[in-house]
Amino acid sequence: MKKIREIALSRFGGPEVLELRPTAPCALPLAQAAEAHRLLESGQTTGTLVLVP
């Protein structure tokens, strides 16, 4: 396992590259459901997208 970590660090940068940062959920009004769908399909948002009634 240590060898894999060393290879990853040498190819992709320092330890800060290996940190995971959660994203805040995106909330849109239900009336903007089409826009929410476009955001998800285009990859402009990742993680949770909530439609609020």
pLDDT in tens, 1-53: 678 877 777 777 666 655 667 777 889 999 999 999 999 999 888 788 999 99
Could you give the number of structural domains in the chain? 1
Quick one: tokens of 32?
């903007």
Tell me if 47 is assigned to some domain: yes
pLDDT score, position 25 = 82
- At 16 the pLDDT is 60
Of the CA atoms within 13 Å of residue 44, those in its CB half-sphere come to 7
Exposure on the CB side of residue 5, measured as CA atoms within 13 A: 6
In a domain, 11, yes or no: no
Q: Which residues contact 11 (CB under 8 A, 6 or more apart)?
A: none
Put simply, whether the predicted model's pTM sits higher than 0.75 gets the answer no
Segments forming the whole domain that contains residue 32: 23-53
> Whole-angstrom Cα distance, residue 44 to residue 46?
7
Q: How far apart are CA 37 and CA 9, in angstroms?
A: 36
